[in-house]
Amino acid sequence: MKVLQLGKFYPIKGGVECVMEIFTEGLAERGYPSDMLCAAHDGHVGDIILGEESRIMCAPSLLKVAATMISPMMIVRLRKICHEYDIIHIHHPDPMATLALFLSGYKGRVILHWHSDILKQKTLLRFFKPLQNWLIKRSDLILGTTPVYVEESPFLRKVQHKTSYLPIGIDPTPWLSDEVKELRSRYPGKKIIYNMGRLVPYKGYHHLIQAMALLPEEYILWVGGDGPLRAELEALVRELGLEQRVEILGYVPSAMKPVYFGACDLFCLSSTMKTEAYAIVQVEAMSLGRPIVATEIPESGVSWVNAHGVSGLNVPIEDAPAMAKAIREICENPETWQLYSRGARQRYYDVFTKVEMINRLIEIYTDLLAQTDHRK
């Protein structure tokens, strides 16, 4: 069995590319030859060797249009190598990868990984939709990251018979005891709420900051990340008189991420749109036993990841009072906090480990190829 992960960019910046790399490396570690073909950006060109039978192939790009790298060389490269693979696992949304597959002449099995609908790029979708429809029809299996997303996507309603889901799994976030203790010591007697992500509209940070204004003085909020809304959010913090209780941290280096996850009392995800399809940050927090308060985003898998009443609580979107109430319900009752802390950690080990994800992925590939052999 030899598999190609197809789509997105390198160097890796987003969640889709990260999943592709984890799949590629995880399969290779188990002895299954696996490659990854993607469009290069930031001037990176060439192959990265991951092992004896595994590599990341970076096709040079001409430019970026509507969040899509334009890479004619991806088409050329795929046409040359596609016959080497038993399965091509294509990651959506990526119009360039879809076009390359369409023009490749590939006759083997195709798995379409539906990470999210195209929501913001309306003009792009208008032109891409016929090719997207072809990809949906061409695929032997369509995988989502949660059952909710593939069931609710308007693009997949007619193909439910060939959909399934594979939750994104990660290695547990490391517990850095000394660093966590040092950070907590700066905030004696405080209850610490944490959120991490780009400072963009769909993350709902306005509502989280407004919720802080409804919480007692002992609550503080850390927001890890940067983005175009930073100045606007900092102005809201000043307007509400929360300068001593809300810290917008900016970019958090990788080495410090586990420290903030470990030092907080609760992770609160305030996103408002199904652009937030999964929120892997919830899983990172859950692996350390941090209870979660998340939002019930229509058609999104976010509130499936955070099982209500198990790993935390889910509240309506754009509802600061409900968010503040849920935070207090967990943080002000030690027994409740312990219940959700244990539930979060157990849910991580039951559903969201990297080991379980790769095990399940191998089963999916094996079953698909067995169907091929049976048909022959």
- CATH code at position 110: 3.40.50.2000
Q: Tell me, yes or no, whether 63 lies in a domain.
A: yes
Q: Tell me, yes or no, whether 134 lies in a domain.
A: yes
Measured CA to CA, the distance from residue 172 to residue 287 in angstroms comes to 5
Q: Tell me, yes or no, whether 375 lies in a domain.
A: no
Residues 83 and 232 in one domain: no
Q: pLDDT digits over 137-149, tens only?
A: 999 999 999 999 9
Output the six-digit token pair for 184. Answer: 């907590």
When pLDDT is cut at 50, 70 and 90, the band that residue 116 belongs to is confident
For 95-105, b where at least 16 C-beta lie within 10 A, e where not — what string? bbbbbbbeebe
Domain hosting 14: range is 3-169+354-370
- Does 34 have pLDDT greater than 80? yes
Residue partners of 39: CB distance under 8 A and separation at least 6: 8, 9, 10, 58, 59, 61, 69, 70, 71, 74, 96, 97
- Does 91 have pLDDT greater than 90? yes
When pLDDT is cut at 50, 70 and 90, the band that residue 68 belongs to is confident
Query: What is the pLDDT, as a whole number, of residue 67?
Result: 66
Residues 85 and 124 in one domain: yes
Residues 232 and 94 in one domain: no
Residues 101 and 160 in one domain: yes
Count of structural domains within the chain: 2
Q: Tell me, yes or no, whether 253 lies in a domain.
A: yes
Q: Which residues make beta-bridge pairs with 141? A: 111
Query: What is the pLDDT, as a whole number, of residue 373?
Result: 58
Residue partners of 105: CB distance under 8 A and separation at least 6: 79, 82
Residues 222 and 191 in one domain: yes
Residues 366 and 294 in one domain: no
Residue partners of 146: CB distance under 8 A and separation at least 6: 165, 167, 277, 278, 301, 304, 305
Residues 364 and 332 in one domain: no
Percent over 90 (pLDDT), the chain: 77
Residues 236 and 99 in one domain: no
pTM: 0.88
Q: Tell me, yes or no, whether 117 lies in a domain.
A: yes
Residues 338 and 258 in one domain: yes
Q: Give Cα 369 distance to the centre of its chain.
A: 27
Q: Tell me, yes or no, whether 376 lies in a domain.
A: no
Q: Tell me, yes or no, whether 113 lies in a domain.
A: yes
Residues 63 and 209 in one domain: no
Q: Tell me, yes or no, whether 116 lies in a domain.
A: yes
Kindly give the pairing relationship between strand 68-70 and strand 63-65: antiparallel
8 Å CB contact between 261 and 290: yes
Residues 210 and 324 in one domain: yes
Residues 297 and 362 in one domain: no
